[in-house]
Amino acid sequence: MEELRKHAKELLENKTVAAILAYVEAGPQRTKPAIITKPEDVSKMVFNEYCLNNLAVYLTKARIKNLAKQNGTVMKLGIVAKPCDIHAVVALIQESQLKREDVYIIGMNCHGVVKDFGMEFSGETLASKCVPCETHKPLYYDIVLGEEKQTPAVSDEVLAKMQAIEKMTYEERFEYFKKEFDKCIKCYACRAACPLCYCQRCITDKTIPRWIESSPHSRGNFAWNVVRAFHLSGRCIGCGECERACPMDIPLSLLNRRMTETAKEAFAYVSGRSIETPTLVGSYDVKDSDELFM
């Protein structure tokens, strides 16, 4: 942690970065995101198992981008990022929302985070997104910090649940998801927390014509959740922030995971792993499977 603070201080003092998106302490076993702009504030920075937020979500926000524009030049923005957050940064670069040279990635070695604040870190409280995670070291970075530790090995509950759903009949599945989506209150927290939901104007906010009914009833909820999952298919990097942000505990990761698996099975593609690769849904291959079409 001292290493992180020292490095952040240097970056701010040298004016390498205009600001650093970082985690600060917010009570016992709890952190919150912060924008560090002054060298004297670096002492508040922390990095531990309670750094749940994916800070990449802020990189596309106009207010944050403006911080980097000083005296007519564009400075870098620093970001303290776990390896999974770096996938989001890479996906944003792939989708031309960000330039690699505009961001300074302080990559942190990570052995997983907890499900929620206030829990002692162990195999039982390991966040479900960390279970299938394969990247404990940053893939893209300007510097890597933090110690390497072993991630506790636990069984993949999301995958098991997904496979259980796939074994159900169509009626049971529809009923299951209808019940889950019925809880939705259309607060769009899932959209706000997602680093890849960066559209200036979301399709659900468009009213002429209104494609997705915005009142929280089962029909509109179904449409919204289908469209959200579809717009992230082949793009979702699996940071699980949507599910964590959901106040109604809708198992959104079940949907995202299914789409991630489809991308793997049908196109051998994993989002956010390489800056050079074109995005999956933004490109095509004439050799793609034609099985679906009569």
Cβ atoms within 10 A of the Cβ of 276, count? 6
Span of 42-50, 54-62, 117-125, 228-236 interacting with other proteins by CB under 8 A:
228-236
Nearer to other proteins, 37 or 211 (CB): 211
Size of the site for other proteins (CB under 8 A): 50
Kindly state the smallest distance separating residue 162's Cβ from other proteins, in Å: 8
Q: How far apart are CA 238 and CA 263, in angstroms?
A: 13
Asked whether 88 and 237 are in contact (CB, 8 A), the reply is yes
Six token digits for residue 97: 């929302």
Judged by CB under 8 A, the stretch of 17-25, 98-106, 108-116, 280-288 that binds other proteins is: 280-288
Residue 178 touching other proteins (CB under 8 A): yes
As given in the structure block, the two tokens for residue 277 are 């690769």
Question: Which span sits near other proteins by CB under 8 A: 9-17, 56-64, 121-129, 213-221?
Answer: 213-221
Residue from 156, 175, 205, 249 in contact with other proteins (CB under 8 A) = 175
CB atoms near residue 197 (< 10 Å): 19
Tell whether residue 233 is a contact of other proteins (CB under 8 A): yes
Tell which one of 159, 266, 273, 277 touches other proteins (CB under 8 A): 266
171 belongs to the binding site for other proteins (CB under 8 A): yes
Q: Which of 65, 115, 137, 258 binds other proteins (CB under 8 A)?
A: 258
Q: Contact region for other proteins (CB under 8 A) — 29-37, 40-48, 51-59, 161-169?
A: 161-169
Specify the residue, 107 or 220, whose C-beta has the smaller distance to other proteins. 220
The stretches of 129-184 forming alpha helices (DSSP H) are 157-167, 170-182
The HSE-up count of residue 155 (CA atoms within 13 Å, CB side) is 3
Position among 80, 91, 108, 255 found at the interface with other proteins (CB under 8 A)? 255
Stretch that binds other proteins, among 21-29, 64-72, 129-137, 211-219 (CB under 8 A): 211-219
Rounded to the nearest 5°, which phi and psi values hold at 27?
A: 105, 180
State yes or no: residue 120 binds other proteins (CB under 8 A). Answer: no
DSSP character for 210?
Answer: -
- 177 in contact with other proteins (CB under 8 A): yes
Strands 76-81 and 17-25 come out as parallel
Interface with other proteins, residue 66, by CB under 8 A: no
H-helix or E-strand spanning residue 76: strand 76-81
Rounded to 5°, angle at Cα 69 from 63 and 71: 140
The set of residues, in sequence order, having a beta carbon less than 8 Å from that of 280 and lying 6+ positions away, is 234, 235, 263, 267, 269, 271
Q: Max alpha carbon distance in the chain (Å)?
A: 65
Comparing CB distances to other proteins, the nearer of 68 and 259 is: 259
Selected binder of other proteins within 148, 156, 157, 172 (CB under 8 A)? 172
Does position 268 interact with other proteins (CB under 8 A)? The reply is: no
CA 190, CA 205: separation in Å to the nearest integer? Answer: 15
Vertex 141, ends 232 and 64: CA angle to 5°? 60
Tokens 């390498």 correspond to 16
Q: Which residues bind other proteins (CB under 8 A)?
A: 165-166, 168, 170-178, 203, 208-213, 215, 217-220, 222-223, 226-227, 229-230, 233-234, 255, 258-259, 262-263, 266-267, 280-281, 284-286, 288-290, 292-294
